[in-house]
């Protein structure tokens, strides 16, 4: 049963506040209305689209916590960050990321996304990659979205922090890397 507009908009506002990364499609399904109706509601309520909400939450979290890397130096959009624990970023593959002849992403973009996420997750003023072991498991194509997930695993015998990063397109792994991170507290 459809809700009255005012009631729907109140619930919409609360739902987006509670779960800022919810999509317009999921909201439309939940409220039993069209995606266009959700977009109009958001416009009326001055609620930004999902991409802007992600950027806002990430920037807010970043400004409060991250030490090793400014947000504008991370490759991709950080959507989750728990320092010295885990992090997630998104990278939408555009024309600037691919070879023109075959529309396949250049590997250095996937590496840069993973490496910058490994740096960002470190809770220190200085974090540098001392060593990495990487593997590309399938080509990534134009217009695909790469989701990189970083997990801090602990320290190695040299005192470097080990960060595992796995990148996916949909549910399929496309990149895997282990980064040995030097941090200033290692001195």
Span 146-170, pLDDT tens digits? 999 999 999 988 889 999 999 999 9
22 and 91 share a domain?
A: no
Question: Are 125 and 41 within one domain?
Answer: no
Residue 89 shares a structural domain with residue 163 = yes
Task: Please list, residue by residue across 47-83, b when 16 or more beta carbons sit within 10 angstroms of its beta carbon and e when fewer do.
Answer: beebeebbbebbeebbeeebebbebeebbbbbbbbeb
Query: DSSP E strands: which ranges in 111-171?
Result: 127-136, 145-155, 161-169
d(CA 16, CA 35): 15
Q: Specify the pTM.
A: 0.66
Strands 77-82 and 145-155: unpaired
Q: What is the pLDDT of residue 175?
A: 98
Higher local confidence (pLDDT), 104 or 42: 104
Same domain, 67 and 24: no
My answer on whether 66 and 154 are in the same domain is yes
Q: What is the pLDDT of residues 71-104, one digit of tens each?
A: 667 789 888 888 899 988 999 999 999 999 999 9
What domain range is 175 assigned to?
Answer: 53-186
The number of folded domains in the chain is 2
CATH number for position 165: 3.10.129.10
Which is more confident, 107 or 20? 107
Which region, left, alpha or beta, applies to residue 76 given φ > 0 means left and ψ of -120 to 50 means alpha?
Answer: left
| 120 and 38 within one domain | no
Residue 168 sits in the same domain as residue 100: yes
Whether residue 133 sits in one domain with residue 58? yes
């Amino acid at each position: 049963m459809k809700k009255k507009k005012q009631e729907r908009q109140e619930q919409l506002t609360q739902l987006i506040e509670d779960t800022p990364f919810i999509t317009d499609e999921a909201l439309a399904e939940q409220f039993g209305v069209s995606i266009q109706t959700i977009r109009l509601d958001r416009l009326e309520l001055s609620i930004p689209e999902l991409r802007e909400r992600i950027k806002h939450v990430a920037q807010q979290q970043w400004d409060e916590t991250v030490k090793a890397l400014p947000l504008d130096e991370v490759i991709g959009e950080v959507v989750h960050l728990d320092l010295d624990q885990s992090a997630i970023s998104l990278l939408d593959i555009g024309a600037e990321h691919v070879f023109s002849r075959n529309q396949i992403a250049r590997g250095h973009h996937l590496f840069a996304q993973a490496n910058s996420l490994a740096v960002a997750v470190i809770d220190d003023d200085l974090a540098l990659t001392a060593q990495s072991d990487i593997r590309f498991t399938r080509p990534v194509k134009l217009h695909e979205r790469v989701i990189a997930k970083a997990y801090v695993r602990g320290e190695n015998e040299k005192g470097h922090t080990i960060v595992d990063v796995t990148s996916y397109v949909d549910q399929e792994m496309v990149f895997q890397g282990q980064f040995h991170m030097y941090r200033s507290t290692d001195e």
